[in-house]
Amino acid sequence: VAVIGLGLIGGSLGMALRRRGICVSAYNRNPVVRRQAVRRGAASRVFPTVHEAVRGADLVVICVPVPAMPPILREAGLAAPGAVITDTGSVKQAVLEMVDRTLPGPSRFVGGHPMAGSERRGLKAARPDLFKGRTCILTPVWRSRPGAVSLVAGIWRLCGARVLSMDARKHDRMVAGISHLPHALALALMNMASRDRAALSAASGSFLDATRVSASDPEMWCGIFKANREEVLRSIAAFGRELAAVRRALAKPGGARLLAMLRRACSARARLGSVK
Residues 187-226 that bind its own copies (CB under 8 A): 187-194, 196, 198-219, 221-222, 225-226
SS3 state of residue 2:
strand
Contact pattern from residue 19 through residue 48 relative to its own copies, giving x for each residue in contact according to CB under 8 A and a dash for the rest = ------------------------------
Between 68 and 78, name the residue whose CB sits nearer to its own copies: 68
The closest of 92, 20, 103 to 60, measured between CA atoms, is 103
Segment near its own copies (CB under 8 A); pick from 42-50, 68-76, 139-147, 238-246: 238-246
What does the DSSP assignment read for 191-226?
HHHTT-HHHHHH--HHHHHHHGGGGS-HHHHHHHHH
Element (DSSP H or E) covering residue 144: none
Residue 87 beta carbon to its own copies: minimum distance, rounded to whole angstroms: 17
Beta strands in 63-129 (DSSP E): 84-87, 109-114
Asked if 159 is part of the footprint of its own copies (rule: CB under 8 A), the reply reads no
Between 51 and 263, name the residue whose CB sits nearer to its own copies: 263
Selected from 21, 81, 82, 268, the binder of its own copies by CB under 8 A is 268
Asked if 101 is part of the footprint of its own copies (rule: CB under 8 A), the reply reads no
The answer to whether the CB of 146 falls within 8 A of the CB of 119 is: no
Asked if 169 is part of the footprint of its own copies (rule: CB under 8 A), the reply reads no
Segment near its own copies (CB under 8 A); pick from 1-9, 17-25, 149-157, 237-245: 237-245
SS3 state of residue 160:
coil
Asked if 2 is part of the footprint of its own copies (rule: CB under 8 A), the reply reads no
Between 21 and 204, name the residue whose CB sits nearer to its own copies: 204
Between 38 and 115, name the residue whose CB sits nearer to its own copies: 115
**Rounded CA Rg of the chain:** 21
Q: How many CB atoms lie within 10 A of CB 144?
A: 19
What string of H, E and C letters represents the secondary structure of 18-34?
A: HHCCCCCEEECCCHHHH
Of residues 118-147, which lie at the interface with its own copies (CB under 8 A)? Answer: 118-119, 134-135, 137
Selected from 65, 117, 128, 140, the binder of its own copies by CB under 8 A is 117
Segment near its own copies (CB under 8 A); pick from 44-52, 81-89, 104-112, 257-265: 257-265
Longest dimension (CA), the chain: 69
The answer to whether the CB of 175 falls within 8 A of the CB of 230 is: no
Residue 76 beta carbon to its own copies: minimum distance, rounded to whole angstroms: 27
Between 146 and 253, name the residue whose CB sits nearer to its own copies: 253
Residue 133 beta carbon to its own copies: minimum distance, rounded to whole angstroms: 10
Between 19 and 247, name the residue whose CB sits nearer to its own copies: 247
Asked if 239 is part of the footprint of its own copies (rule: CB under 8 A), the reply reads yes
Q: Alpha-carbon distance 168 to 205, whole Å?
A: 35
Residue 23 φ/ψ, nearest 5 degrees: -75, 125
Q: What angle do CA 20, 152, 12 make, to 5 degrees?
A: 50
